[in-house]
Amino acid sequence: MTRRNILIVSGAALSRNPRVLKEASALADAGHDVTVLTLRNHAAAEDFDRAIMATARFKRIVVDVAPAPGASPTGVFMRRLRAAVARHVAGVFKRESIETIGPGGELLAIARKQPADLVIGHTEVGLWVAAQLLAEGRKVAADIEDWHSEDLPPEDRVGRPVRLLRETERRLLKNGAYATTTSAALAQALQEDAGSPRPAVVGNTFPLQADPRQPPPNDPAVFFWFSQTLGPGRGLEDFLTAWSRTSQPSRVVLLGEDRHGYRETLRASVPRSHGARLSFHDLVPPDMLPGLIARHDIGLALETPLNRNRDLTITNKILQYLNAGLAVVATPTAGQREVLAHGPEAGVLLGSDPAANARLIDELLSDRARLLARQQAARRLAETRYCWEHDRQVLLDLVNKALPS
């Protein structure tokens, strides 16, 4: 294989964007010279990112938009000022700009100087940079992990350059070397919306864990949920309402960075009988998360279909639960129905009625043999379909085909 220069452009920290990290590592391991151009926009993630880069086989170029060790205070201030001005102009003159959500112009200027045979865009600002380079004749590809122009509730779209994002996505889908996304449901919707070739599906999967669980399940069984942020609008409230009505003993562990004291809000939402069995866990480094997940019994994939993106995509939660051998309790988004359609025994889908959901959870908890069977089915589904070993090859084939011969 000929060694090539590949530039990946993203708007998120490595430790908070596992798709970029897996892609960069896979392409570097395949023998390419890989550079990740990204933003340092989350100071707490920088320690995790530096640990990643200590052993990484790819390079990183960082533009600082948050205070962090080594960041220029003046540079951070000026970038934030430009973003504030862009948001003001967008609000007053209704003129959309990528600068409202990230320093796209600065990233583009850096990207132009990189001798890349292929540029791969991720996240809103990374996709915008890729689209500009495409117009300049560079070979680019797009990873549409989220359908950004169809994301967020209406109240959070104020000032967001939705039209610009939609144009960017459609341009890349139609004219890029290839596009990838996270589910067959989202791939079909993107194809129909853009009138483009169908994106390839590269799941939010992870390398298979070795012997992730040892039966029997915990007694009582333990539910587990994780995210970067612990806050509203993530389905936790509805689950806890149903869980509060259950009679079978169980515990719930929630992992994430607490925002605005939301832990106490959730704790206050459950009766005293259940409050002592609800606990919280701080964020852990990415390489520690799989082992932590595997200590629990049932994974909570509580995505809320507030918009088309959240309904159609498959996030990494449900796939990490399968990998760790956890049975799954999931909300019935199109993406999560797609996963469980390939392994119905791996989990159960919640409905909209709290009382019915409580009965479903009690039934899951009451039959220990059935719970163990669901855990085993979850792991089989990871081994046969939803693992990085499979998706990695899909990615490498796409990149090899896109690179010049």
Q: Which domains does the chain have, with CATH numbers?
A: 5-205+388-402 (3.40.50.2000), 221-384 (3.40.50.2000)
- Find the range with the poorest average confidence among 124-138, 144-158, 336-350: 144-158
Q: Are the C-beta atoms of residues 224 and 255 closer than 8 Å to each other?
A: yes
Specify the DSSP element, H or E, that contains 275. Answer: helix 272-275
Cα 371 off chain centre by: 27
Q: Which pLDDT score is estimated for 379?
A: 96
Distance, CA of 131 to CA of 266 (rounded, Å)? 42
Question: How much is the average pLDDT of 139-162?
Answer: 87
The tens digit of pLDDT for each residue in 106-119 reads 999 999 999 999 99
Could you please report the per-residue DSSP string of 45-98?
GHHHHHHHHTT-SSEEEEEESS--TT--HHHHHHHHHHHHHHHHHHHHH----G
pLDDT at residue 213 greater than cutoff 70 = no
Q: Are the C-beta atoms of residues 20 and 8 closer than 8 Å to each other?
A: yes
DSSP three-state, residue 344: helix
Q: Which pLDDT score is estimated for 27?
A: 98
The tens digit of pLDDT for each residue in 215-245 reads 667 889 999 999 988 988 889 999 999 999 9
Task: Give the percent of the chain with pLDDT over 70.
Answer: 97
Distance, CA of 233 to CA of 90 (rounded, Å)? 27
Q: Which pLDDT score is estimated for 76?
A: 73
Question: How much is the average pLDDT of 368-389?
Answer: 95
Q: Which pLDDT score is estimated for 220?
A: 94
Q: Which pLDDT score is estimated for 43?
A: 78
Structure tokens at 249: 């003993």
157 or 224: which leads in pLDDT: 224
Q: Which pLDDT score is estimated for 215?
A: 62
Q: Which pLDDT score is estimated for 401?
A: 96
Structure tokens at 188: 């079909």
Structure tokens at 203: 């799941």
**Burial of residue 342 (number of CB atoms within 10 Å: 0-12, 13-18, 19+):** exposed
Q: Which pLDDT score is estimated for 128?
A: 98
Q: Are the C-beta atoms of residues 263 and 293 closer than 8 Å to each other?
A: no
Q: Which pLDDT score is estimated for 255?
A: 97
What confidence tier does 25 reach under pLDDT thresholds 50, 70, 90?
A: very high
Distance, CA of 280 to CA of 293 (rounded, Å)? 13
Distance, CA of 169 to CA of 179 (rounded, Å)? 10
CB within 8 Å of 314: residues ≥ 6 apart: 182, 183, 186, 203, 204, 335, 336, 338, 339
CB within 8 Å of 63: residues ≥ 6 apart: 37, 38, 39, 40, 79, 103, 106, 107, 110
Distance, CA of 131 to CA of 138 (rounded, Å)? 9
DSSP structural state of residue 190: H
Question: Across all residues in the chain, what is the average pLDDT?
Answer: 92
pLDDT at residue 170 greater than cutoff 70 = yes
- Find the range with the poorest average confidence among 37-51, 74-88, 295-309: 74-88
CA contacts within 13 A on the Cβ side of 54: 7
Q: Are the C-beta atoms of residues 19 and 25 closer than 8 Å to each other?
A: no
Angle between helices 104-112 and 123-135 (to 10 degrees): 50
pLDDT at residue 1 greater than cutoff 70 = no
Structure tokens at 302: 């509580």
Distance, CA of 275 to CA of 177 (rounded, Å)? 52
The tens digit of pLDDT for each residue in 64-110 reads 887 777 777 888 778 778 777 777 677 766 788 898 888 999 999 99
Question: How much is the average pLDDT of 364-382?
Answer: 95
Report the candidate in 62, 69, 102, 71 with the shortest Cα–Cα distance to residue 84: 102
Task: Give the percent of the chain with pLDDT over 90.
Answer: 78
Q: Which pLDDT score is estimated for 214?
A: 63
Which pTM does this prediction carry? 0.90
Cα 352 off chain centre by: 25
What confidence tier does 405 reach under pLDDT thresholds 50, 70, 90?
A: confident
Give every strand in the sheet of 179-181, ordered side by side.
59-64, 33-40, 5-9, 118-121, 140-143, 179-181, 200-201
Q: Give the phi and the psi of residue 289 in degrees, each rounded to 5.
A: -65, -45
Q: Which pLDDT score is estimated for 347?
A: 97
Distance, CA of 228 to CA of 12 (rounded, Å)? 12
Distance, CA of 305 to CA of 307 (rounded, Å)? 5
Q: Computed over its alpha carbons, how large is the radius of gyration of the chain? A: 22
